[in-house]
């Protein structure tokens, strides 16, 4: 089993990035994070990368307005660091088809709701939790899924429920969901690190240890 050499992509503060890193350091996940990529120059996640000596890259859509050129730059970075796995931890840009194809079933995204509900373009951050509360849902949750060529449509690897409370605001619900996100991302990565994932169409099966 080849060890996971993960490239983390994030556009925001990167608390999921931080949680994965912490779990690697604690020895809970046998993997290394070999590169960090962001499409946002001032993403807070850059601080995490710098503090941990992880090579960090800003890949801008201004510099590479065409998806194909953007993808080529991403692939170049991934190759430089010999990355064999991609983690999208709050990355707010679509992953181009050339990257998806090259990393087939090797890209995970995390979404702060139970897909296929409350997903797709524009459904990120507080928008998701607002929509869940406005609908009146009694449960929400977390989905860790494989990434395909559109937003939030790849097959789930783990889904976990989180209760919605009577007095929830988008902020309190987000905090409860985030706590679970920090657990399940590592859990899903462990399945891959242990070679226990099999994909049959949309069914992702986790083999017993």
Q: How far apart are CA 70 and CA 25, in angstroms?
A: 32
Q: How far apart are CA 16 and CA 112, in angstroms?
A: 11
In angstroms, what is the minimal distance from the CB of 9 to ligand GRF?
11
Residues of 18-39 as b/e, b for ≥16 C-beta within 10 angstroms?
bbbbebbeeeebebebbbbbbb
Q: How far apart are CA 183 and CA 8, in angstroms?
A: 16
Does 129 qualify as catalytic in the annotation? Answer: no
Q: Which of residues 74-113 bind ligand GRF (CB under 6 A)?
A: 89-90, 110-112
Figure out which of the listed residues 12, 96, 141, 156 binds ligand GRF, where binding follows CB under 6 A.
Answer: 12
Residues of 52-79 as b/e, b for ≥16 C-beta within 10 angstroms?
eebebbebeeeebeebeebbeebbebbe
In angstroms, what is the minimal distance from the CB of 34 to ligand GRF?
19
CB contact set of 58 (below 8 Å; sequence gap of 6+): 38, 39, 40, 41, 46
In angstroms, what is the minimal distance from the CB of 184 to ligand GRF?
10
Q: According to the binding rule CB under 6 A, does residue 141 interact with ligand GRF?
A: no
Smaller CB separation from ligand GRF, 14 or 156 = 14
Find the catalytic residue in 81, 111, 129, 145.
111
In angstroms, what is the minimal distance from the CB of 192 to ligand GRF?
18
Smaller CB separation from ligand GRF, 185 or 192 = 185
Smaller CB separation from ligand GRF, 187 or 194 = 187
**Residues that are catalytic:** 111
- Binding residues vs ligand GRF (CB under 6 A): 10, 12-16, 89-90, 110-112, 124, 178, 181
């Amino acid at each position: 089993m080849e060890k996971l050499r993960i490239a983390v992509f994030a556009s925001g503060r990167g608390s999921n990035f931080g949680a994965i890193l912490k779990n690697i350091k604690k020895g809970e996940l046998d993997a290394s994070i070999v590169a960090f990529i962001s499409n946002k120059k001032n993403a807070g996640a850059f601080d995490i990368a710098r503090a941990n000596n992880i090579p960090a890259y800003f890949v801008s859509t201004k510099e590479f307005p065409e998806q194909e050129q953007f993808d080529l730059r991403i692939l170049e970075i991934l190759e430089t660091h010999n990355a064999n796995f991609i983690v999208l931890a709050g990355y707010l840009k679509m992953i181009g088809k050339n990257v998806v194809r090259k990393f087939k079933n090797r890209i995970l995204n995390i979404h702060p709701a139970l897909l296929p509900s409350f997903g797709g373009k524009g459904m990120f951050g507080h928008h998701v939790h607002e929509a869940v509360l406005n609908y009146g849902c009694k449960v929400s949750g977390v989905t860790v899924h494989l990434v395909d060529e559109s937003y939030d449509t790849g097959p789930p690897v783990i889904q976990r429920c989180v209760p919605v409370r009577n007095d929830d605001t988008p902020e309190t619900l987000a905090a409860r969901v985030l706590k679970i996100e920090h657990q399940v991302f590592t859990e899903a990565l462990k399945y891959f690190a242990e070679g226990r994932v099999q994909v049959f169409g949309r069914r992702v099966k986790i083999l017993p240890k």
